[in-house]
Chains A and B, each alone.
Chain A
Amino acid sequence: MRMSCLRATTLALVLAGSVALAAHAAATPPTEFPPGAFPSTYQPLPAQVTLIEHATIYTGTGERIDDGAVLLRDGKIAAIGKQVDAPAGATVIDAKGKYVTPGLIDVHSHLGVYPSPAVESTGNGNEMTNPNTSQVMAEHSVWPQDPGFNTARAGGVTTLEILPGSGNLIGGRGVVLKNVPATTVQAMKFPDAPYGLKMACGENPMRVYGSRHQFPSTIMGDVAGYRQAFADAQAYDREWKAWEAKGKAGPPPKRDLGKETLAEVLDGKIRVQMHCYRADEMAQLLDVAHEFGFTISAFHHAVEAYKIPHLLAKTNTCAAVWADWWGFKMEAWDGIRANLAMTDAGGACAMIHSDDENGIQRLNQEVAKAWAAGLRAGLHISKEHAVMWMTLNPAKALGLADRIGSLEPGKDADVVLWSADPFSVYARTEKVFLDGAVVYDRADPARQSKSDFMLGSFIGPHAAKPDKATDATATATGEGTR
């Protein structure tokens, strides 16, 4: 009930419209501007050398290893293959009958900026006071006590990008987080991850501002708004470069935080990730990006990506989509379940995203639905390939594909151990590793983080605890029909 009620509201429509921005290449230096601002204080949790063996491993590179093993050491994937020897003192997990994937990655989340509980004072995701708020940064709104971080972690999500909402043409910077429990957002910040810039197509900005009789109130107004913002950023960039060319003589130009962000987009340090539903609007935005010489990392939501995979492939732009959301507004009217599979089959980089505090807990199930819809459409995509939709492809969109998203030696040891094939509705995470440390263990309450917010809600004498396990939890299988 809640979902549809929410979707009927402007707020939720704005929520369901965010885009993230991921900066380009790993070759570029950290993008903090000025250098060193808002540094990450993330530290991996204590970890043991761990060997998971006899598992079915979806590597995240499109391959599957049956009866395989993966070694986690010093926070990195140390080895992977059919046979890996356990170093002395290693914790060995016999995963016979179980499955292993890379940690799941969500490029589109509003955890912390639209947290639970959803009350007026916690909704901090949309600075809807100007259609261009490129100066704001989502990390300054993130509430680390959002209980949704914990449920997402229990669902296997190890990396997520928190984005501003989509009420504005340019909503501000997103932030990439390691999904560890923390008291400050700095302690969750993915070290040296490129920044993203959230932009939004279509109905949301024009509804927010049009309803106030302000600019923009039409889609052509939307497009003019992006163009003017980038034209202004070009001028700003020239101002600074001229000052630098003169040996930085005299006082520097005045900093403009918004134009500074857009100038970094133009420099390729911050890549745009853009909320955009319709095929025709995505095509328009690709032309805008071309005009100003930047790249759109991914269109988010992209319910019509299946109509234009060739355009996306040509511009190296990914599509981050839901499995089956549709119909909650006009621009979502043409959503179909085969979207992800068709976009992938058409040659574009495609992935799942959540944009939702419930959906993020089950990204594997969303991928499974999208994969099955592909099969029914006659697209024979392997499961091992489809696993990339929640691992390597989102890592690419975040500009982090050299560090996370697949189980390859040297990459961060973000790993999920599943009770069964994660394409099954009955599969559950058993253990989640982040940089080699167990950050979630279904069998060990000591490794199940609880938010400060959740403490003390159900103190006795008579209240039962909401996380009390039932006797029946062990038998989670279908009744012989599978």
Chain B
Amino acid sequence: MKYLVMLLALLCVACSPADHSDGQTGAVASTATADTHSGTWAITGGTVYTLGAAGKIEHGTVLIKDGRIAAVGTDVAIPADAGRIDATGKVVTPGIFDPESQFGVVEVGAVRETRDGSAGDSRFSAAFDVAEAINPRSVLIPVNRIAGVTRAMVSPTNGGKRIIAGRGAIIDLGSTEGFIHRDPAAMFATLGESGARQVGGSRAAALLALREALQDARDYADNASAYAKNQRRSYALSMLDLQALGPVLDGKQPLVIEVNRASDIEAALRLAQDFKLKLIVSGGAEAWMVADELAKAKVPVMLNPLEDLPAHFETLGSTLENAARLQKAGVLIAFATGDTHNARNVTQAAGNAVANGLPWLDALKALMLNPARIYGMDQDLGTLEQGKLADVVVWSADPLELSSAADQVFIAGRKIPMVSRQTMLRDRYLQEMQGKQALPAGYIVPAAQ
């Protein structure tokens, strides 16, 4: 009994979403990165896309103080102690928010020991929380943050035989301390072909398994004390899994369902309506076919805009115009390419969505603002507006263009060193190629700052 109480207490902590978005963690990390400007930065002269009510500001100033945006505009007083970034001729935007990633839970894809994104064959499903496994020192993080990716949902992936993968956490890619921004931030599950594969049968069986899990979770929530006294029926899931589903049933935590075929999306919509869930569609290859229903139900879609082949029977309707058509129908969209090593290539994907009909500014929002809206984080993120967390990117030119680069990145106000393992490898072998070094390349160690 004592053990049970302790366990419940622990669970309580685990179940309530914790937000760690105050400036304090940022200030600590700033010191750690030898920030000489007390966390005050002025980015001046750039074309600022606020993605907020102020729209586009030419020759604007973005003032960052203590991790947050202190002011944005053309007439901003710059404190004397502020560090300055000249963005004249450049473009300034919020940071990119990857809405579905494996940051910190994968290093080398084929090396099993570095993969922690899935509960796999363990007993757990909904209770699995990927946050516990995240390594903020992953080499993948600098590679992608110096290309403008500042924040990410770390999502659990399906494994074993469970259609509920577990809970994801939103992280800040600019710190090794206090990097968890919200956890748990969403529940992840899969239906369609993948769901059918997990349950070993029809996609209808997968749907039934999800319904059963939700019904059990509701029954458990209503009868927790009876269950503890062994006076309730048995459930398909463990107690921890049922407890983890509580906030999903309360509509407090979104349920992300990976689903692609139009008819599978419709089935997910019915499920969401029956249980009053806050549904997010992931994948959505044929979402454009049911765009009006998605818009009506206010269900957002996280998609890869480059998907245009019938790679599976559930994606026969894939088209490069998926993003444009969903947007036009009023569906909130975000871009998720699913490739965490190259999460940076999402700008290219967005550019292609524009080439296929999506308005440019909407593509920018799909990268930077919409993920924050989808996960209910837009109080803190997604636009360059006073009071928001200072995830800011200074781009050499159009962020979506292939020849553009992020010249400077700030995450929660921290000025990020524009260095990654890849730039260090590059610089080592460039120096060797240039013959400036008599000793082998192994002696050339480029600066890490």
Task: List chain A positions with a Cβ less than 8 A from chain B.
Answer: 1-5, 7-8, 13, 116-119, 147-148, 151, 203, 306-307, 309, 324-330, 333-338, 342, 345-346, 357-358, 361-362, 365, 368-369, 371-372, 375-378, 423-428, 453-454, 457-458, 463-464, 466-473, 475-479, 481-482
Contact = CB atoms under 8 A, between A and B. Distances in A.
A377 B433 CA distance: 12
Given A117-B313, A358-B309, A481-B47, A2 B304 contact: yes
B336 A482 contact: no
A428 B357 CA distance: 12
A368 B403 contact: yes
B304 A472 contact: no
Given A1-B338, A2-B307, A481-B397, A7 B324 contact: no
Contacts of B307: 2, 358
B403 A330 contact: no
Contacts of A482: 397-398, 401
A324 B352 contact: no
B108 A327 contact: yes
Contacts, number: 194
Contact of A463 (B283, B289, B319, B433): B289
B304 A470 contact: no
Contacts of B100: 1
A423 B402 contact: yes
B355 A476 contact: yes
Contact of B401 (A307, A378, A424, A453): A424
B283 A472 contact: no
B422 interface: yes
Contacts of A346: 433
Interface stretch (B14-22, B227-235, B340-348): B340-348
Contact of A118 (B157, B282, B312): B312
A307 B115 contact: no
For the complex of A and B, list the 5 residue pairs with the smallest distance between their C-beta atoms, beginning with the closest: A1-B338, A425-B351, A329-B110, A328-B109, A368-B402
B354 A481 contact: no
Contacts of A151: 308-309
Contacts of A333: 108
Interface string B32-62: 0000000000000001000000001000000
B398 A464 contact: no
Nearest to B283: A1
B229 to A, nearest CB: 43
B441 interface: yes
A439 B220 CA distance: 62
Given A116-B310, A426-B354, A476-B354, A4 B397 contact: no
A147 B325 contact: no
B403 A329 contact: no
Given A4-B109, A342-B430, A372-B402, A324 B310 contact: no
13 contacts: A4-B341, A5-B338, A148-B309, A306-B429, A309-B433, A327-B109, A328-B108, A357-B309, A365-B348, A369-B402, A426-B401, A463-B289, A470-B324
Contact of A338 (B401, B426, B441): B426
B318 A472 contact: no
A200 B401 CA distance: 35
A108 B14 CA distance: 48
Given A116-B309, A329-B109, A330-B111, 8 more contacts: A4-B109, A4-B338, A8-B115, A327-B108, A368-B402, A372-B405, A376-B405, A470-B357
B393 interface: no
B264 to A, nearest CB: 15
B316 interface: yes
B200 to A, nearest CB: 16
Interface string B278-303: 00001100001100000000000000
Most chain A beta carbons < 10 A, residue from B140, B289, B355, B356: B355
Given A116-B310, A425-B400, A472-B358, A307 B342 contact: no
A467 B317 CA distance: 9
B91 interface: yes
Nearest to A371: B403
A328 B355 CA distance: 29
Most chain B beta carbons < 10 A, residue from A327, A335, A479: A327
B300 to A, nearest CB: 16
Contact of A327 (B319, B328, B341): B341
B381 to A, nearest CB: 22
B426 A481 contact: no
Interface in B76-123: 91, 100, 102, 107-111, 115
B282 A472 contact: no
Contacts of A337: 422, 426
Contacts of B422: 326, 335-337
B425 interface: yes
Nearest to A425: B351
Contacts of A453: 310
B378 interface: no
A2 B338 contact: yes
Contacts of B56: 479
A472 to B, nearest CB: 4
Given A1-B338, A324-B345, A423 B360 contact: no
A334 B341 CA distance: 12
A365 B401 contact: no
A445 to B, nearest CB: 15
Given A326-B341, A377-B426, A473 B317 contact: no
Nearest to B351: A425
Contacts of A357: 309, 311
B409 to A, nearest CB: 15
A478 B328 contact: no
Nearest to A422: B402
A330 B321 contact: no
Given A1-B258, A1-B338, A8-B109, A472 B357 contact: yes
Contact of B325 (A425, A470, A477): A470
Interface string B190-225: 000000000000000000000000000000000000
Contacts of A336: 422-423, 425-426
A1 B56 CA distance: 32
A330 B108 CA distance: 6
A30 to B, nearest CB: 33
B361 interface: yes
Interface in B420-434: 422-423, 425-426, 429-430, 433
B110 A330 contact: yes
Contacts of B361: 479
B339 interface: yes
Contacts of A2: 304, 307, 311, 338
B317 A428 contact: no
B309 to A, nearest CB: 4
A463 B262 CA distance: 10
Contacts of A8: 109-110, 115
B359 interface: yes
Interface string B353-389: 0111111110000000000000000000000000000
B400 A478 contact: yes
